[in-house]
Amino acid sequence: MNIHRFEKGWLVASLVLIVFFIGTVAYVSAVTGVEMVDDSGGKVDVDNVTDDERFADPRVEQVGENEYDAYVVAQQFIFRPGTNSPIEVPANSTVNFYVTSLDVVHGFQIVGTNVNTMVVPGQVSEITVEFDEPDEHGILCNEYCGSGHASMGGSINVVPEDEWEGGDA
Amino acid sequence: MAYVDKRPLEARVIRVAFAASFLFLGLGGLGGLIQALHRTGYFQFIGEVTDGNYYTVLTSHGVFMVLFFTIFFLVGVFTWALTRGLDRDLNNPRVTKYWITSMCVGAFLTSLAIIGGFTNAIPLEANVLYTMYAPLQAHPLYYIGLTLFVTGTWVAGYDMISTYLRWRSDNPDERIPLKAFMVLTTMLMWYITTLGIAAEVLLFLIPWSVGIVSEVNPTLTRTLFWYFGHAVVYFWLIPAYLLWYTVLPKLSGGRLFSDPLARVVFILFLILSVPVGIHHQYLDPGIPEGFKFVAMTNTMFLLLPSLLTAFTVVASMEHGGRQRGGTGYLGWLRTLPWKNPAFSGMALAGVMFAAGGFSGMINAGMNINYLVHNTFWVPGHFHLTVGTASALTFMAGAYWLVPQLTGKELVSKRLAAVQPFIWFVGMTFMSNAMHRAGLFGMPRRTADPTYSQFSYDPTVGTVSGVNGQIALGGVLLTVSLAIFLYVIARTWFGGERAESPVDAELPSALSGPEHSPKVLDNLKLWVGIAILLVILAYTVPIGYIASDGLWSGSETYPVAIEALEVLL
Amino acid sequence: MATEDKKREIGHEEFDPVGTLALIAVYFVILVVMWIIMWRIEFLGNGPTVVG
């Protein structure tokens, strides 16, 4: 087949580019260790979420020296905790979020960051986050979930370590 | 002799398809303007009761633009391309009339279901947006209309393929002419693609919306939707590619650089378009990371046909520019016919696509996607691709095709000449602002993205700056769209009848198909490979997801009133 | 539509798309640079960041 040498060169360059893109993603994944949201959060009975021990009283609790588990329930049109009172986590911590939905598909993002996950009824989204300095951030639902979707927001406060009280919303 | 005189029946079908296409473009565009002004806070006249009306507009904007505008245009331009490429009429006028009717009736019914959402007087509603998956549920009419629409396209494919087969038996040894090759590979890809949404709608969404089953598995319906949802973007893009490969060289004053490479590109789309859909679900729970990684590598390789297209199309334009007298490395850019809106629309669309391609590459990067998923970056991206590469090319193509389909010369040529430039400027403002807004966390699909609990913290620019540019861009795009519709309508209904309303001659490629291996024309082989790749990418994930239960998981969350009440 | 305006005929053998090569090389560089910039914005910035 008659391919002009310039186009052959571009074909090679394109393949190099593609491999470069795949390589950087694989690097972030394998070396930096950033995992994707997947099925490791497990399931929940969508008809009985509030009976589940994880989500009956959604809160942040300490599970290790600088490690915390945060349970969040998403529903039309609030996060619990998060909307009516901020989620609170201490600075310099690693927090494992477990997020699920009572009703439809929602999204959960700490605004302007890469802490971002879908929230699907029947599934638990597990996402681990590193927080450094004290700050305040917004959270919002970024998946259309019905007519009140635009009001589904909240906040998360990263407080100095000695100020974190531990406990629920 | 113009196309309308040579093939009157086909010309009539294409006119109907284009009329439907441009009608939905206009209605969708109106919806887009409403949204651009509403969510930026400039003019919120639909939201007084509840923001629900915003989502009715949004659903209409999505469905009208990316299902009806694009696909009606596709069946029209493909009918032209196939019959012109094979120099042959379509096989069976009754089949042709059936599919265009089915598509029109289906589009009408779905539109009715959506528009019903504006009023409580009739129990129709479909505020589910264009990405239709559980647990949000529309009125059954929404799904039924779409079923008629999509099955109509299946019959259109059958019409085109059977016309090709008749040509083949009359021409056993010839290479498939390029335009026909493009149509065939795309329709074959479409059959594979629509299996996903057909399964989703027929096995799950319709039975659920009429009450036969009470629960469906949300992750499963999402996965079936996105099996279709990525490949469909190539259904939108490919008619633009067809025009860039086969018409743009001529408009540039030159010839297509390479026919064989164009064939390779279309084969790559046939085999790679579908097994990538899970890249829309990178952030879904319930789907193991391994499946996401496979989808990512497939997606990155799917960049290849577009990157190759960039080279071939620009080289063809360069050939034209040089034949028109351009010299030096870039001097040929100036000798190109920028005053011809058919040319400038396609050229500007291509430039914008290069930018949109980049933001798509970011979307495709599995972990990089974390930052941009479901933010305003995503609409920023696709308004460059389907919103410009496809839409502006379709408008540009219309300036060249509508005269041939009606026998009328284009009117208001000077107005038409500025139209693509206004689109380009408007889209630059709007899309650039959308990308930046997404980076500081502004969400997509949200009626009013201001929240009482926090304010955004843009690193570059301000929130009001971004809102202003989106509103400005939206207004410019609406002006451009209005000009297009005006020029086409005046031409269609009022232009001067002419023997040869436009120069419709298409020169042969610089490097023709005779220089390429015959295996490229072996459609059965490529379809086989396409199916194999789909099986490899999807069987295990779907099996895994379905093991949770097919018709279990989530109760109904209808945005419609109880379906059975309507049936009775 | 337009008039031909063709000044000369250029055949297959005589055509080397040098302009295209130049433009596409620039595009390649832009892609690589933008990708690296995006990567830095996302993973090397401060603030809360996902790890798994």
For residue B454, give the CATH number of its domain.
1.20.210.10
Half-sphere exposure of B564 (CA within 13 A, CB side): 6
Contacts of C42 in chain A (CB under 8 A): 114
CB B243 within 8 A of CB B393: yes
B519 CB-contact burial (10 Å; exposed 0-12 / middle 13-18 / buried 19+): exposed
Cβ–Cβ below 8 Å for B325 and C41: no
**Residues 6+ away with beta carbon under 8 Å from B400:** B247, B251, B342, B502, B504, C1
Across the B:C interface, residue pairs with CB atoms under 8 Å apart total 85
How far apart, in whole angstroms, are the C-alpha atoms of residue B330 and residue B336?
A: 11
Phi/psi region, residue B134 (left: phi>0; alpha: psi -120 to 50; beta: rest), is beta
What local confidence, expressed as pLDDT, does residue B555 receive?
57
B565 CB-contact burial (10 Å; exposed 0-12 / middle 13-18 / buried 19+): exposed
Of C17, C39, C49, the CB nearest to A130: C49
**Residues 6+ away with beta carbon under 8 Å from B216:** B134, B135, B204, B205, B208, B550, B551, B552, B553, B554
Contacts of A138 in chain B (CB under 8 A): 441, 451, 453-456
Note whether C34 contacts B: Cβ–Cβ < 8 A: yes
Grouping H, G, I as helix, E, B as strand and the rest as coil, residue B452 is: coil
What's the token pair of residue B413?
């040529």
What local confidence, expressed as pLDDT, does residue A166 receive?
63
Same domain as A157, residue A90: yes
**Residues 6+ away with beta carbon under 8 Å from B185:** B266, B267, B269, B270, B523, B526
Domain that holds residue A64: 39-168
State how far Cα B215 lies from the chain centre: 31
Cβ–Cβ below 8 Å for B303 and A17: yes
Mutate to test the interface with A, among C23, C44, C49 (most CBs of A within 10 A): C49
Cβ–Cβ below 8 Å for B310 and C27: yes
pTM for the full predicted model: 0.95
Chains that touch A (3 or more CB pairs under 8 A): B, C
Q: Give me the number of domains chain B comprises.
A: 1
**Residues 6+ away with beta carbon under 8 Å from A169:** A58, A59, A80, A81, A82, A84, A85, A86, A87
Å between C9 CA and nearest CA of chain A: 19
How far apart, in whole angstroms, are the C-alpha atoms of residue A93 and residue A158?
A: 9
Residue B161: how many other CB atoms lie within 10 Å? 17
How far apart, in whole angstroms, are the C-alpha atoms of residue B443 and residue B437?
A: 8
Q: What angle do CA B65, B432, B248 make, to 5 degrees?
A: 60
B234 is catalytic: yes
B515 is catalytic: no
Contacts of A35 in chain B (CB under 8 A): 289
Contacts of A6 in chain C (CB under 8 A): 16-18, 20-21
Task: List the catalytic residue out of B38, B280, B319, B383.
Answer: B383
Cβ–Cβ below 8 Å for A4 and C31: no
Same domain as A74, residue A15: no
Quote the DSSP letter at residue B279. G
Identify the closest residue of chain A to B553 by CA–CA distance: A122
Cβ–Cβ below 8 Å for A150 and B446: yes
CB B326 within 8 A of CB B335: yes
Mutate to test the interface with A, among B367, B434, B557 (most CBs of A within 10 A): B367
Note whether A134 contacts B: Cβ–Cβ < 8 A: no
Contacts of B505 in chain C (CB under 8 A): none
CB B35 within 8 A of CB B61: yes
What's the token pair of residue B470?
């989106």
Identify the closest residue of chain C to B256 by CA–CA distance: C12
> H helices within B247-340, ranges in order?
248-252, 259-272, 289-301, 303-323, 332-335
Cβ–Cβ below 8 Å for B399 and C10: no
A63 CB-contact burial (10 Å; exposed 0-12 / middle 13-18 / buried 19+): exposed
B38 is catalytic: no
Of B508, B517, B515, residue with least CA distance to B245: B508
Beta bridge partners of A96: A69, A128
How far apart, in whole angstroms, are the C-alpha atoms of residue B231 and residue B269?
A: 9
Is the Cα torsion angle A26, A29, A30, A31 positive or negative in sign? positive
How far apart, in whole angstroms, are the C-alpha atoms of residue B323 and residue B333?
A: 12
Note whether C14 contacts A: Cβ–Cβ < 8 A: no
B497 is catalytic: no
Q: What angle do CA B220, B226, B228 make, to 5 degrees?
A: 115
B230 is catalytic: yes
Integer-rounded Cα radius of gyration of chain C: 22
> Terminus-to-terminus CA distance in chain C, angstroms?
57
**Residues 6+ away with beta carbon under 8 Å from B394:** B21, B69, B70, B73, B77, B239, B240
Note whether B521 contacts A: Cβ–Cβ < 8 A: no
Grouping H, G, I as helix, E, B as strand and the rest as coil, residue B538 is: helix
DSSP B17-70: HHHHHHHHHHHHHHHHHHHHHHHTTS---S-SS-THHHHHHHHHHHIIIIIIIH
Note whether B551 contacts A: Cβ–Cβ < 8 A: no
Note whether C13 contacts A: Cβ–Cβ < 8 A: no
Give pLDDT tens digits for B424-459: 999 999 999 999 999 999 999 999 999 999 999 998
Å between C1 CA and nearest CA of chain A: 30
What local confidence, expressed as pLDDT, does residue B123 receive?
77
Cβ–Cβ below 8 Å for B343 and C19: no
Contacts of B217 in chain A (CB under 8 A): 122
Q: What angle do CA A155, A158, A162 make, to 5 degrees?
A: 140
Q: How far is CA A117 from CA A36, A113, B28, B269, B472, in A?
A: 9, 11, 30, 30, 32
Contacts of C15 in chain B (CB under 8 A): 257, 319, 322, 510
Cβ–Cβ below 8 Å for A25 and B219: no
How far apart, in whole angstroms, are the C-alpha atoms of residue B142 and residue B131?
A: 12
How far apart, in whole angstroms, are the C-alpha atoms of residue B397 and residue B17?
A: 14
Same domain as A69, residue A18: no
Q: Give me the number of domains chain A comprises.
A: 2
Domain that holds residue B203: 3-567
Residue A27: how many other CB atoms lie within 10 Å? 13
Å between B10 CA and nearest CA of chain A: 35
Task: List the catalytic residue out of B382, B424, B484, B538.
Answer: B382
What local confidence, expressed as pLDDT, does residue B568 receive?
35
Residues of chain B short of pLDDT 50, as ranges, are: 48-49, 558-568
DSSP chain A: ----HHHHHHHHHHHHHHHHHHHHHHHHHHTS-PPPP-GGG-B--TT-GGGSTTTSS-EEEE-SSSEEEEEEEEETTEEETTTSS-EEEESSEEEEEEEEESSS-EEEEETTSS-EEEE-TTB-EEEEEEE-S-EEEEEE--S--STTGGG-EEEEEEE-GGG---EE-
Contacts of B551 in chain A (CB under 8 A): none
What local confidence, expressed as pLDDT, does residue B415 receive?
97
Q: How far is CA B283 from CA A155, B222, B308, B380, B397, in A?
A: 21, 12, 30, 19, 38
Task: List the catalytic residue out of B280, B291, B444, B538.
Answer: B444
Place of tokens 């036969």: B212
Query: Does A29 score more than 80 pLDDT?
Result: yes
Element (H, E) at C49: strand C49-50
Grouping H, G, I as helix, E, B as strand and the rest as coil, residue B192 is: helix
Å between A124 CA and nearest CA of chain B: 7
Beta bridge partners of B454: B451
Of A89, A104, C34, A112, residue with least CA distance to B454: A112
Query: Does A106 score more than 90 pLDDT?
Result: yes
CB B298 within 8 A of CB B275: yes
Identify the closest residue of chain A to C21 by CA–CA distance: A6
**Residues 6+ away with beta carbon under 8 Å from B294:** B278, B537
**Residues 6+ away with beta carbon under 8 Å from B341:** B396, B399, B413, B416, B417, B419, B420
